[in-house]
Amino acid sequence: MITFLRAVKGRAYPRVVGALREPSWMFWEIFLPILSISAFVMVYRALEAPKEFEGFVILGGIMTSYWLNVLWGMDSQFYWEKETGNLQHYIIAPASLESILAGMALGGMFATTTRALAILFIGTWMFQVDITVVNPLLLILVFIVCLAAMYAMGMMFASLFLMWGREAWVMSNLFQEPIYFLSGQNFPVKALGETVAAIASLIPLTLGLDAMRQLMFPSTYSWALMNPVIELIILLALTLLYLILAMFFLKKMERLGKEKGTIITRWL
């Protein structure tokens, strides 16, 4: 356990420190999402949509910043580490691969949270969006569990992307825009229809956004997919499922590397 915690701390540290060493990165990672959010807010205003929909867009912009961190900071990480020659050191280290990915996740969460908070405050102030939190404790639980499920999914895909080889870059790009659409980044996911929305619920971001919107904008219950408590339970189940799959795929990847002398092995 001590080795596990030290590995988590060791991998989280560079991401936490690195997020503070380059202020220009922080500016652009706040400014560009605000620019994208502004475009959708203007569309809703032109259509005279309910004011709450502007809040939907701001919350969607915040949560998708975490998805981007999962996609590029977790899913593709082992592939980039292999390209730079660090992966073999991770595999032969006494620490587990799960602890290394957990450290990356925690460090990435910190860096992304600082930008997410800035987007939240700037967005709500700029567009005068009123937020009414009806159940703060449930909101915090949904947010934390949603992040846990997203990063667990990132741990699972980290090994899969590595074994897919050069397709990792293609897969990262492939998963970016469809997730924006299926998660309902800028609109209530219920608008996709019950069948598509149910399939999209396998993505933690979908349920997390839907639950948090209900808890922050209670007047929009009619646009909700399901009760936020039920969504929290499903998110807990998804977290457990993706963690189990992540452990399985990581062990599979490590075994293939030892047996065949290469990580890039097609076995699916």
pLDDT tens column, 32-77: 788 888 888 898 888 888 888 888 888 888 888 888 777 766 766 7
Residue 264: per-residue pLDDT: 47
| One-letter amino acid of 178 | P
Higher pLDDT, 99 or 145: 145
Asked if 189 contacts 206 with a C-beta cutoff of 8 angstroms, the reply is yes
* Per-residue pLDDT band at 180 (split at 50, 70, 90): confident
Q: Residue 38 burial by CB count (10 A; 0-12/13-18/19+): exposed, middle or buried?
A: middle
Residue 167: per-residue pLDDT: 62
Residue 267: per-residue pLDDT: 39
Per-residue model confidence as pLDDT tens digits over 184-225: 888 888 888 888 888 888 889 999 999 999 999 888 788 888
CA distance 65 to 70: 9
Per-residue model confidence as pLDDT tens digits over 159-179: 777 666 656 667 667 777 888
CA distance 105 to 131: 28
| 71: its two tokens | 């996609």
3-state helix, strand, coil in the chain (%, to 5): 80, 0, 20
CA distance 105 to 152: 9
Average pLDDT over residues 81-107: 76
Residue 229: per-residue pLDDT: 93
Q: Look over the chain and give the mean of its residue pLDDT values, rounded to a whole number.
A: 81
Long-range contacts of 219-228, Cβ-Cβ distance < 8 Å, separation of 24 or more: 219/50, 219/52, 220/50, 220/52, 220/56, 220/188, 223/188, 223/190, 223/191, 224/188, 224/190, 225/188, 225/189, 225/190, 225/197, 225/201, 228/135, 228/138, 228/142
| 3-class secondary-structure state, position 261 | coil
CA atoms within 13 A on the CB side of 262: 7
Q: Residue 25 burial by CB count (10 A; 0-12/13-18/19+): exposed, middle or buried?
A: middle
